[in-house]
């Protein structure tokens, strides 16, 4: 029995599938099965998979197209190992990824999910953007969960006994943000972690699933955002007044940025009650500062006192270099939105996502 299952779900994986498969087959760690779920591809995906004469590859063919989330759950049901590593059909794993993740998971049985740092590449395999080095420790990652996905799905290695046997796998009703939703259900008795090493290249291209359905992604994230205060902080208020305030955390624009500040501060209060060390944790405070500054991106000029308050809250808990760079980014987004929309009546305008 191998130690790790590498799980990939693929639909029409050409032209990136070959690189993705070979990046797994060429790992320095070799004790794995490579379980590939072919979701009724209509191109030559199946032929590409079968062209590899490698006994570690196991191919599951869906009888009908059931989309990625259900395909991943089918793969989890058939995985034969405790450790499962996710892999997307258009990404590239660095050669030591499985070796480093498996070694970490052996030493840290309390960790349920382990991610890595990320690079981003274009269709021509050229590195674009700055690399993403995520928080490494459980407490900052639990805090980050309230605002964004803390571990990239394609970089994750997790324990099947927790993710599948205990939690039932991915929510089949979530098509695109299934990783954020699933990690948010991991009980607090387990830990999340990231390796800082850049062990996965995430490909950005027009055909990527996340490039196709921005509106659906936002709808899913709204549902996750509404559920997370209860899941992570134990806040059980389901009133519409509370939920409408929670919505401002993910809103592209809000008439009430003061609600966003109120929610962030309430989150922090509850979080510090769960994790007393969070109040002095530099990674938690850095994300807190970022969320305060980010309020500028969804506010309006007539709410200037609220926006100034957000900046005042962020200043003492952030490094000055990071504060200035984040402020510059948020202002660029604000003024960029004004320029694109042509709203010249006030500096902040009716800001939408760029």
In this structure, are residues 9 and 87 in contact, taking their beta carbons and an 8 Å threshold?
no
Q: Where are the beta strands (DSSP E) in the chain?
A: 4-10, 32-38, 57-61, 83-86, 92-93, 111-121, 127-132, 157-159, 191-203
Helix axes 240-247, 214-228, angle to 10 degrees: 130
**225 close to 250: Cβ distance less than 8 angstroms:** yes
pLDDT of the residue at 296: 86
**What pLDDT score was predicted for residue 95?**
98
Give pLDDT, residue 333.
Answer: 78
- pLDDT at residue 330, rounded to an integer: 84
pLDDT for residue 208: 66
**CA 66 to CA 119: how far, in whole Å?**
29
CB 229 within 8 A of CB 146: yes
Per-residue model confidence as pLDDT tens for the chain (354 residues): 999 999 999 999 999 999 999 999 999 999 999 999 999 999 999 999 999 999 999 999 999 999 999 999 999 999 999 999 999 999 999 999 999 999 999 999 999 999 999 999 999 999 998 899 999 999 999 999 999 999 999 999 999 999 999 999 999 999 999 999 999 999 999 999 999 999 999 999 886 655 558 889 999 999 999 999 999 999 999 999 999 999 999 998 888 899 999 999 999 999 999 999 999 999 999 999 999 999 988 866 557 888 899 999 999 998 888 899 888 888 887 766 443 333 333 232 222 232
Tens of pLDDT, residue by residue over 280-313, are 999 999 999 999 999 988 866 557 888 899 999 9
Give burial (CB, 10 Å; 0-12/13-18/19+) of 151.
Answer: buried
140 contacts: CB under 8 Å, gap ≥ 6? 281, 283, 284, 287
* Pair 177, 149: CB distance under 8 Å: yes
The residue ranges of every structural domain in the chain are 4-212, 235-341
- In 3-state terms, what secondary structure has residue 218? helix
Model pTM above 0.85:
yes
- Say what percent of the chain tops pLDDT 70: 92
What are the distances in angstroms from CA 216 to CA 66, 87, 221, 253?
Answer: 17, 23, 9, 17
Place of tokens 């000055």: 320
The pLDDT value recorded for residue 334 is 73
CATH number of 4-212: 3.90.550.10
pLDDT value at residue 212: 56
Q: What is the pLDDT of residue 352?
A: 29
**Displacement of CA 132 from its chain's centroid (Å):** 12
Residue 257 dihedral angles phi and psi, to the nearest 5°: -65, -20
**pLDDT given at position 307:** 87
How many angstroms separate the CA atoms of 253 and 17, rounded? 38
As a whole number of angstroms, the distance between CA 30 and CA 86 comes to 16
pLDDT of residue 214: 85
């Amino acid at each position: 029995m191998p130690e790790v299952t590498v799980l990939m779900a693929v639909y029409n994986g050409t032209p990136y599938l070959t690189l993705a498969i070979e990046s797994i087959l060429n790992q320095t760690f070799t004790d794995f099965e490579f379980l590939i779920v072919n979701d009724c591809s209509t191109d030559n995906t199946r032929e590409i998979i079968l062209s590899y004469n490698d006994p570690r590859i196991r191919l599951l063919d869906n009888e009908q197209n059931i989309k990625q989330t259900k395909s991943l759950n089918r793969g989890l049901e058939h995985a034969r190992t405790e450790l499962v590593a996710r892999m997307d059909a258009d990404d590239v794993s660095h050669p030591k990824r499985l070796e480093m993740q498996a070694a970490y998971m052996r030493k840290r049985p309390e960790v349920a999910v382990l991610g890595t740092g990320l690079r981003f590449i274009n269709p021509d395999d050229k590195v674009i953007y700055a690399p993403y080095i995520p928080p490494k420790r459980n407490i900052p990652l639990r805090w980050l969960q309230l605002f964004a996905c803390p571990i990239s799905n394609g970089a994750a290695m997790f324990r099947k006994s927790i993710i599948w046997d205990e939690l039932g796998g991915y929510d089949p009703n979530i098509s695109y943000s299934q990783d954020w939703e699933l990690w948010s259900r991991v009980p607090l008795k387990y830990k999340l972690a990231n390796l800082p090493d850049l062990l996965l290249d995430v490909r950005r291209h027009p055909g990527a699933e996340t490039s196709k359905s921005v509106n659906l992604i936002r709808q899913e994230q709204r549902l996750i955002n509404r559920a997370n205060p209860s899941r992570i902080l134990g806040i059980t208020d389901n009133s519409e007044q509370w939920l409408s305030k929670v919505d401002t955390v993910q809103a592209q624009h809000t008439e009430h940025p003061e609600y966003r500040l109120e929610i962030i501060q309430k989150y922090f209060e509850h979080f510090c009650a769960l994790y007393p060390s969070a109040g002095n944790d530099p990674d938690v405070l850095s994300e807190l500062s970022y969320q305060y500054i980010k309020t500028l991106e969804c506010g309006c000029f007539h709410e200037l006192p609220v926006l100034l308050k957000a900046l005042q809250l962020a200043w003492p808990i952030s490094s000055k270099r990071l504060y200035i760079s984040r402020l510059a980014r948020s202002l660029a987004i604000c003024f960029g939105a004004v320029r694109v929309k042509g709203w010249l009546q006030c500096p902040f305008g009716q800001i939408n996502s760029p």
